[in-house]
């Protein structure tokens, strides 16, 4: 708990935070860990709140949203909290008619598909439009001992929901707009970049100590298309918050071929999904940019000894470098046993040792010889569990 009455700069408040140190590649002792989607349906205490309230009610009620954000911090002892909200919340706030449907995700009343639809994307004033979310940030900053991660959806991922009307497998309408009307495409992403940048800036102004830009579905694109149609807009988002003194994390799913480009968008850390072994990712991302990840989330549906073996492999591949933040390769699956995640945090804290700069070989986890060759690429049977 903070003992200061004025909100101090995040860096001062969290001087000893291993998470913030790792985001900067600064010296610290223990590998920090948090989980994407650490709040939510895997936790009985979350489901209990959702029995009483809709998703939107939780997000719009600062006390409830703060409570749901704190639940996984208490349960798991993670090194960072992540604001409970959604990537579409800023779009709801400017009146786009988005609902979060249980078991589905965000659904848009009237999808955006033509140049004429662009006018529906007005500017976002964070304090005016997202006051309830920012009040949650303020409550959390008072309450938390660990840094709070703010977040937003990147322009491409948001555009995919707006154009498709909801979750998609092929993104064919999104890509159709991209390839048939490039001018409208760039104008759409430019507007989204302004909205997203404003949302992140608002969260940082209220005390978020780091931000993550989720370009969850960018992996649907070939690198040349990502570079031409998406990167300039994500770059502009990250630039907008570049001078605000908090580390930025840039994440996408299935983004192995995009990692170098995503790193070049202007970020302190790139999030890596489970398909790319962390040491391979390291070779694709320039020095000076850290890595976050990347245990296969479905491994956590299995027995803990297997989770431990795979977590040790992630640590080994991270090599004890000071610029690694342990995470899953994507969000916690709802069927995950919270006990497994609690044990996983303990393991990372007990075994994830950071080497002193220029120090000896990784003291992390099992020696390479103990790891079965190709263990990281074992297919994990993937029971159909919704997001």
Active site residues: 37, 41, 50, 86, 161
Using the contact rule CB under 6 A, the part of the chain among 22-30, 39-47, 175-183, 314-322 near ligand 1CP is 39-47
* Contact status, residue 313 vs residue 298, Cβ threshold 8 Å: no
> Does 165 contact ligand 1CP by CB under 6 A?
no
Residues in CB range of 154: below 8 A, 6 or more apart: 196, 213, 214, 215, 218, 230, 233, 234, 237, 250, 252
Segment lying near ligand 1CP (by CB under 6 A), choices 80-88, 176-184, 197-205, 346-354 = 80-88
- For residue 37, give every residue at least 6 positions away whose Cβ sits within 8 Å of its Cβ, in sequence order, or none: 330, 331, 332
Pick the binder of ligand 1CP from 40, 266, 290, 297 (CB under 6 A).
40
The smaller minimum CB distance to ligand 1CP, of residues 69 and 364, is found at 69
DSSP state of 253: T
- Cis previous bond, 294, omega within 30: yes
55 makes contact with ligand 1CP (CB under 6 A): yes
Segment contacting ligand 1CP by CB under 6 A, of 34-42, 237-245, 285-293, 297-305: 34-42
Residue 311 three-state SS: helix
Q: Is 258 in the site for ligand 1CP (CB under 6 A)?
A: no
Strands 210-214 and 324-328: unpaired
State in angstroms the smallest separation of the CB of 19 from ligand 1CP: 15
Select the span of 84-92, 266-274, 313-321, 347-355 touching ligand 1CP (CB under 6 A): 84-92
The residues facing 295 across adjacent strands are: 328
**DSSP H or E segment with residue 144:** none
Is residue 274 a contact point for ligand 1CP (CB under 6 A)?
A: no
Contacting residue, 13, 41, 191, 321, with ligand 1CP by CB under 6 A: 41
Size of residue set near ligand 1CP by CB under 6 A: 22
171 scored as a contact of ligand 1CP (CB under 6 A)? no
Q: Which of 124, 181, 186, 122 is nearest to 152 (CA)?
A: 124
> Considering the rule CB under 6 A, would residue 196 count as an interface residue with ligand 1CP?
no
| 74, containing H or E segment | helix 62-76
- How do strand 248-251 and strand 210-214 relate by DSSP bridges? parallel
Interacting residue ranges for ligand 1CP, rule: CB under 6 A: 36-41, 50, 55, 82, 84, 86-87, 100, 102, 105-106, 151, 167, 214, 216, 331, 387
């Amino acid at each position: 708990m903070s003992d200061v009455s004025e909100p101090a700069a995040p860096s001062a408040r969290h001087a000893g935070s291993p998470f913030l140190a790792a985001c900067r590649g600064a010296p610290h002792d223990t590998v920090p860990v948090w989980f994407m989607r650490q709040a939510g349906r895997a936790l009985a205490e979350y489901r209990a709140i959702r029995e009483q309230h809709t998703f939107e009610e939780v997000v719009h009620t600062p006390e409830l949203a703060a409570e749901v954000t704190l639940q996984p911090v208490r349960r798991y002892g993670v090194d960072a909290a992540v604001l409970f909200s959604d990537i579409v919340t800023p779009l709801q706030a400017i009146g786009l008619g988005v609902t979060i449907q249980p078991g589905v995700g965000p659904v848009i009343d009237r999808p955006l598909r033509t140049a004429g639809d662009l006018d529906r994307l007005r500017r976002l004033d964070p304090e005016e439009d997202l006051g309830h979310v920012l009040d949650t940030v303020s409550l959390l900053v008072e309450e938390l001992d660990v840094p709070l991660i703010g977040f937003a959806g990147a322009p491409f991922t948001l555009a995919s929901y707006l154009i498709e009307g909801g979750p998609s497998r092929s993104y064919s309408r999104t890509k159709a707009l991209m390839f048939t009307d490039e001018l409208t495409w760039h104008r759409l992403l430019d507007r989204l970049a302004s909205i997203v940048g404003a949302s992140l800036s608002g969260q940082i102004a209220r005390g978020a100590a780091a931000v993550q830009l989720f370009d969850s579905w960018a992996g649907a694109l070939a690198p040349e298309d990502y570079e031409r149609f998406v990167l300039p807009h994500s770059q502009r988002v990250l630039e907008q918050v570049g001078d605000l003194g908090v580390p930025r994390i840039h994440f996408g799913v299935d983004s192995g071929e995009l990692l170098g480009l995503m790193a070049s968008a202007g970020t302190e850390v790139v999030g890596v999904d489970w398909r790319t072994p962390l040491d391979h990712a390291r070779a694709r991302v320039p020095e000076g940019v850290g890595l976050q990840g990347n245990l296969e989330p479905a491994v956590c549906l299995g027995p803990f000894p297997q989770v431990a073996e795979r977590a040790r492999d992630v640590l080994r591949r991270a090599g004890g470098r000071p610029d690694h933040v342990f995470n899953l390769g994507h969000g916690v699956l709802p069927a995950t046993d919270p006990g497994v995640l609690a044990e996983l945090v303990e393991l990372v804290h007990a075994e994830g040792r950071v080497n002193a700069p220029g120090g000896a070989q990784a003291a992390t986890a099992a020696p390479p010889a103990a790891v079965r060759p190709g263990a990281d690429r074992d297919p994990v049977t993937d029971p159909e569990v919704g997001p």
